[in-house]
Amino acid sequence: MVAAVLFITFAVLLLIGAPIAVCLGASSVISMIVQGAGRPLEAIMSSLPRLVSSSTSKFVLLAIPFFILGGNIMEKAGISQKLIRLAEVCVGHIRGGMAMVCVIVACFFAAISGSGPATVAALGLIIVPAMIKAGYKPAFAAALMAAAGAIGVIIPPSITFVVYGSISDTSIGTLFIAGILPGILMGAGLLITALLVGRKTKLKTLPKATGKERWQAFKDAFWGLLMPVIILGGIYGGIFTPTEAAAVSAVYGLFVGIFIYKTIKLKELYAILVDSTSTTATVMFITAAASLFAYVLTRARLDVAISTALQNATGGNVIVFFLIVNILLLIAGCFLDSTSALYIFTPLFVPVAQALGVDMVHLGVVMIVNLAIGLFTPPVGVNLYVACGVGDVNLKQISKAVVPLLITSIIVLLLITYIPQISLALV
């Protein structure tokens, strides 16, 4: 009964276009009322504040607002333009060079922002018009930007890894290390696909830059390039924790923006803080609602039932288990944001994975790569909508153009899934 109420209410709210946090939260509250039928409403609802507080008060989740703030500061500091300029002078003279610029810069910016949609929004306004000017069709240029932006949730520091680590009790620093090679592999796959598509098009190239121009571009981008080095080097060197690293990233970004690039004025800090607070509130609202959803699943013993059914379906076969994980998450990624999907599916997958002897770090990477692909999968891929606005194309056009990139990404996903060393080699 509770399961039917939970999933039907969630589905109805999702179909009528309610925000995902509202879908999760409202369906959970209604299910709690049904589950507690006969008890006073005050008694049923009295647990809500405690559940919401406990789910959002974890120390590790402090990394989320700090990484968001650091990414916003570096974006406002103009680092995106400097990274693009550096990539242009290095590979702009090569046929298909602008596609290379798109993917390479997305990988670098991903290590600063940690967010897929933020990467598309920050880079797309510059890179997509440049790709169109170079000869790429607008729909493909926007699709490549959407796909490349998804690398932002794989390459560390990544907010999704923080969320997964907090749910599964896995070391976030280890997850960050594990995300490096899969992120690079995803970027390489997109790059190869873009170059193959570009062979069928008459592409223009930029004049070859001189050594002096390259050196100047490197000097301009140096402080931006140094940010992920400081963050990741500090974590891996044991200097600070991922949460502390997030705070360091915000302070470092502020220092660079105000005193080195001098592109951020003190009066602009208020707007940056408001924007970062708004984004953080959205993420934490989803976190709170998703935790309620997970609580109802647990209280009704649905998580045990689903995990048992999943374990029986796999028959003790790791290959079958990961096949089910990939199919479920690729479908879920079309409709759910990564935070919601992690709160719903992680508690279901972890017990089965542990029973099968699957490494929790490897499982986390596989789940995050799946959800990254969901960011540019029609019909609800967030990156697609951002890229549509940037490239001035409609959803139908970009959905067709993104198909070869989706195929490549799924091939990369299968490699990451069934070759654990890709994720665990650096670990």
The pLDDT of residue 92 is above 90: no
Q: Stretch 195-210: mean pLDDT, rounded? A: 80
The pLDDT of residue 363 is above 90: yes
The answer to whether residues 366 and 326 touch, using CB atoms and an 8 Å cutoff, is yes
- Three-state SS for the chain is CHHHHHHHHHHHHHHCCCCHHHHHHHHHHHHHHHHCCCCCHHHHHCHHHHHHHHHHCCHHHHHHHHHHHHHHHHHHCCHHHHHHHHHHHHHCCCCCHHHHHHHHHHHHHHHHHCCHHHHHHHHHHHHHHHHHHHCCCHHHHHHHHHHHHHHHHCCCCCHHHHHHHHHHCCCHHHHHHHCHHHHHHHHHHHHHHHHHHHCCCCCCCCCCCCHHHHHHHHHHHHHHHHHHHHHHHHHHCCCCCHHHHHHHHHHHHHHHHHHHCCCCCHHHHHHHHHHHHHHHHHHHHHHHHHHHHHHHHHHCCHHHHHHHHHHHHHCCCHHHHHHHHHHHHHHHCCCCCHHHHHHHHHHHHHHHHHHHCCCHHHHHHHHHHHHHHHCCCCCCCHHHHHHHHHHCCCHHHHHHHCHHHHHHHHHHHHHHHHCCHHHHCCC
Phi/psi class of residue 392: alpha, beta or left (left: φ > 0; alpha: ψ in -120 to 50)?
left
**What pLDDT is recorded for position 79?**
78
CA distance 421 to 341: 25
Two tokens, residue 214: 């390259």
- Three-state SS for 162-179 is HHHHHHHCCCHHHHHHHC
**What pLDDT is recorded for position 362?**
96
Quick one: pLDDT band at residue 113, thresholds 50, 70, 90?
A: low
Residues 266-303 have pLDDT tens digits of 888 898 899 889 888 888 888 888 888 888 887 877 77
**What pLDDT is recorded for position 114?**
61
Give φ, ψ of 2 to 5 degrees: -65, -40
**What pLDDT is recorded for position 334?**
78
**What pLDDT is recorded for position 188?**
93
Q: Stretch 359-364: mean pLDDT, rounded? A: 95
**What pLDDT is recorded for position 37?**
67
Residues 126-164 have pLDDT tens digits of 888 888 888 888 899 899 988 998 888 898 878 889 889
Average pLDDT, rounded, for the chain = 85
CA distance 400 to 368: 24
Say what percent of the chain tops pLDDT 70: 98
Domain spans of the chain? 1-45, 59-424
Say what the pTM is.
0.84
Quick one: pLDDT band at residue 408, thresholds 50, 70, 90?
A: very high
Question: Would you mind telling me the total number of residues written for the chain in this entry?
Answer: 427
CA distance 347 to 344: 7
Nearest CA to 248 out of 59, 105, 73, 427 is that of 73
Question: Which residues are CB-contacts of 188 (< 8 A; sequence separation ≥ 6)?
Answer: none
How many whole angstroms from its chain centre is CA 20? Answer: 16
| Highest averaged pLDDT of the listed ranges 35-39, 239-243, 400-404 | 400-404
The pLDDT of residue 202 is above 80: no
The pLDDT of residue 418 is above 80: yes
